[in-house]
Amino acid sequence: MAIHFKKLYYKNFLSTGNAGTTIYLDKTPTTLIQGTSGSGKSTIIDALCFGLFGKAFRNINKPQLVNSINQKHCEVHVEFSTNGRNYTVIRGIKPAKFDILCDDKLVTQDAAVKDYQNVLEQQILMMSFKTFTQIVILGSTAYTPFMQLTPAARREVIEDILDIGIFSTMNLLLKQKTQETKEQQILIDSNIKAQKEKADGVKRLIDVLSTKRDEELEELNREYANVQKEIDTIESQIEELKNANNALKTKTINQSVLKEEYELCTKHSIELVHENKKANTQLSLINDHSECPSCKQEISDAYKKTMEKSISKTIKELQKQLASNVELRTKKKQEIDDLQILVDQILTNTNKCVALGSNLDILQKRLLEILDSIESRTSNHHDVDELKKELKVIANDAFSMVKMKKDLAEQRQIEENASLLLRDSGIKSAIIKEYLPIINKLINKYLAELELFIEFHLNENFDEEIKSRHRDTFTYGNFSEGEKLRIDLSLLFAWRHIAKLKNSSSCNLLILDEILVGRLDQTNTDIVINMINQLAHEGTNIFAIAHHDSLQDKFRGLIQFKKEGDFSVVL
Ligand SMILES: Nc1ncnc2c1ncn2[C@@H]1O[C@H](COP(=O)(O)OP(=O)(O)OP(=O)(O)O)[C@@H](O)[C@H]1O
Ligand SMILES: [Mg+2]
């Protein structure tokens, strides 16, 4: 995108006053800018740089650019066209101003000044301050020759000229993107770690709860078995007692009969005792009486004897019966007592059964409770189920995180591949490699034209290798001022040539400040002027700044500066 500079206007800028200065930049092919020292010649370069890049060419800060007498309304306008459009950049100090007009319409300025400047440099001018000063200006003061730039600055200029700066911008953006990707990777790694720890925690909790439940179930089952065993024991005890009682009951079934028999025995005994007593009374009556106490009739001895014998026999009989009765009664009593022991045993057994029965009730109730507990623990997994659900959610999250991690790793791989292409050794290096021979060839061609017969070679790192005819290795510093100037000129011409070839960073303007007289001898001055004329012939507008008028006839146009009062003016 070639730039065609048309007009420069400035006021209250350095020594220029409120009246302002207008310089037409494309009216004459070659112009000599002349004037005494301090008359305001180099100011043109500063005005141009300030207008386009917001900073002067000479090393002073912004406030120092404002005319020290008027101290305000410092303003610079630069008019140019590129890409079929006309632009005017207006920049001011006190008040601050920065406007870009495109075909008389303001280019929207919605971002910060820095970004607006980026728009101007990267989208309209397509070159940086550094490149502009390397291809438009060659000066004696404040000018850093290409050979004195750092390798990085050299690279920046060449990238602008070869129009491959875009790869640096892309690389910068890629680096930011890679940084973001790296940060995302760190984040995702820590998220995955956190998710894993969370899952481990939930798993542990599930294990604890499951183990607890298993232990409880085991305990309950153990208790169930023990209680059931106790119940079985009690039931068999009750059964045994009942069987025992049944057996005892059959044994005691005759108790009432026995009691009746005993009663009868007792009654019989009483009767026998009574009869015995009566017989004894009769016997003593017979023995003690000789007559009958009632009828008073005499009782004969024979009768007595007969009676005595009969009664005694009766008594004997009665006593025998009584003895047998007592024996029977004692036997019955013993039998009754023996049965009573059994009856008591039945009662004891019954009581035991009742006690065991109530124990049995308690145990059966407990058994039901245990069954309930077992049932609720077996069927109710609510807590563990909830945790398992939670675990599933965590696992799903972790799954998508792992997928993201994989995607990020793939993205990193792509970024790394892109970075290989975009880094200095990538595409740019390939393009530079392609152009380096052309650049070197051009530099050597211009050096030869300027009658400096050295072999100049820029390598891929933009380090120079200079071979002189008689000495092998030479550095830029070895050369004389005039020789250095011729190297600078050769490089400048080479850059302009390449820029024109690439249709990048090329422009119609070339300003040479104080280089034609002093550092070059007459022959070289004539050669340079020839080269200038050649460039002018090809469409470049050249401005040469010089103190004195000895060169006047070599240029088509003339701008003369002068100090009027304290202000610089064009005559
Ligand atoms: N802020 C300022 N206000 C007023 N004048 C200033 C200011 N800053 C610098 N000057 C003066 O502006 C004048 C113009 O400087 P300029 O560099 O353009 O001169 P020049 O014609 O290139 O001279 P030379 O031939 O010596 O290089 C100088 O005299 C300088 O002292
Ligand atoms: Mg000057």
* Residue 66 CA, closest ligand 1 atom number: 1
**Based on the number of CB atoms within 10 Å of its own CB, is 65 exposed (0-12), middle (13-18) or buried (19 or more)?**
buried
Ligand 1: residues with CB < 6 A are: 14-15, 35, 37-43, 64, 67-68, 547, 561, 568
* Residue 64 CA, closest ligand 1 atom number: 1
Instruction: Identify the residue whose C-alpha is closest to ligand 1 atom 24.
Output: 37
Mutation choice for ligand 1 from 42, 67, 513, 564, CB with most ligand atoms inside 8 A: 42
Task: Give pLDDT tens digits for 512-555.
Answer: 998 887 778 888 899 999 999 999 999 999 999 988 778 889 99
Asked if residue 416 lies in contact with residue 405, where contact means CB atoms within 8 angstroms, the answer is no
Residue 37 Cα to ligand 1 midpoint, Å, equals 8
Distance of CA 203 to the CA centre of its chain: 22
DSSP result, 343-400: HHHHHHHHHHHHHHHHHHHHHHHHHHHHHHHHHHHHH--HHHHHHHHHHHHHHHHHHH
The letter for the amino acid at 284 is S
Task: Give pLDDT tens digits for 494-508.
Answer: 999 998 888 777 899
pLDDT, average across residues 298-309 = 84
Q: Residue 99 and residue 87: Cα distance in Å, rounded?
A: 10
Task: Give pLDDT tens digits for 389-441.
Answer: 999 999 999 999 999 999 999 999 999 999 988 887 888 888 988 999 999 99
Residue 569 Cα to ligand 2 midpoint, Å, equals 15
Q: What's the pLDDT at 74?
A: 98
Residue 221 Cα to ligand 2 midpoint, Å, equals 108
Q: Which of 56-65, 165-174, 274-283 shows the lowest per-residue confidence on average (mean pLDDT)? A: 165-174
Asked if residue 187 lies in contact with residue 193, where contact means CB atoms within 8 angstroms, the answer is no
Confidence of residue 126 (pLDDT cuts 50, 70, 90): confident
Instruction: Identify the residue whose C-alpha is closest to ligand 1 atom 30.
Output: 38
- Residue 165 sits at the vertex; the CA angle it makes with 160 and 170, to the nearest 5 degrees, is 170
Note if the pTM is more than 0.85: no
The pairs formed by 477-484 with CB atoms below 8 angstroms and a separation of 24 or more are 481/519, 482/519, 482/520, 482/521, 482/524, 483/452, 484/145, 484/147
Q: At residue 469, does pLDDT exceed 80?
A: no
Q: Residue 567 and residue 571: Cα distance in Å, rounded?
A: 12
Q: Residue 413 and residue 416: Cα distance in Å, rounded?
A: 5
Confidence of residue 16 (pLDDT cuts 50, 70, 90): very high
* Closest ligand, as measured to the CA of 569: 1
Instruction: Identify the residue whose C-alpha is closest to ligand 1 atom 20.
Output: 38
Q: Where are the alpha helices (DSSP H) in 423-480?
A: 427-449
**Class of the CATH domain delimited by 3-126+505-570:** alpha beta
The residues spanned by each domain of the chain are 3-126+505-570, 211-386
pLDDT, average across residues 270-292 = 85
CB-based contacts of 76, cutoff 8 Å, min separation 6: 8, 9, 10, 13, 47, 50, 51, 90, 91, 92
Residue 421 Cα to ligand 1 midpoint, Å, equals 48
Residue 137 Cα to ligand 2 midpoint, Å, equals 13
Task: Give pLDDT tens digits for 146-181.
Answer: 999 998 899 888 888 888 877 877 888 899 999 999
Which residues lie across from 509 on neighbouring strands? Answer: 541
90: helix, strand or coil: strand
Q: At residue 471, does pLDDT exceed 80?
A: no
Mutation choice for ligand 1 from 8, 10, 14, 143, CB with most ligand atoms inside 8 A: 14
Q: Residue 50 and residue 91: Cα distance in Å, rounded?
A: 8
Residue 39 Cα to ligand 2 midpoint, Å, equals 8
Q: Residue 447 and residue 493: Cα distance in Å, rounded?
A: 10
Task: Give pLDDT tens digits for 312-357.
Answer: 888 889 889 889 988 999 999 999 899 899 999 999 999 999 999 9
> Does 211-386 carry CATH code 1.10.287.510?
yes
Q: At residue 142, does pLDDT exceed 80?
A: no
* Closest ligand, as measured to the CA of 562: 1
33: helix, strand or coil: strand
Q: At residue 141, does pLDDT exceed 80?
A: no
* Closest ligand, as measured to the CA of 39: 1
Between helix 165-252 and helix 151-161 the angle, nearest 10°, is: 100
What tokens appear for 185 in the block? 């990777």
Q: Is the bond preceding 437 in cis, omega lying within 30 degrees of 0?
A: no
Q: Residue 193 and residue 205: Cα distance in Å, rounded?
A: 18
Instruction: Identify the residue whose C-alpha is closest to ligand 1 atom 29.
Output: 38
Residue-averaged pLDDT of the chain? 91
* Residue 68 CA, closest ligand 1 atom number: 3
Q: At residue 202, does pLDDT exceed 90?
A: yes
> Is the pLDDT higher at 431 or at 80?
80
Distances (CA, A) of 512 to 55, 134, 174: 19, 11, 39
The DSSP element (H or E) to which 555 belongs, if any, is none
Residue 514 Cα to ligand 2 midpoint, Å, equals 7
Distances (CA, A) of 15 to 12, 18, 62, 476, 558: 7, 10, 14, 36, 20
What tokens appear for 119 in the block? 């728009």
Asked if residue 508 lies in contact with residue 535, where contact means CB atoms within 8 angstroms, the answer is no
Q: Do 3-126+505-570 and 211-386 fold alike per CATH?
A: no
Q: How many helices (H) and strands (E) does the chain have?
A: 11, 14
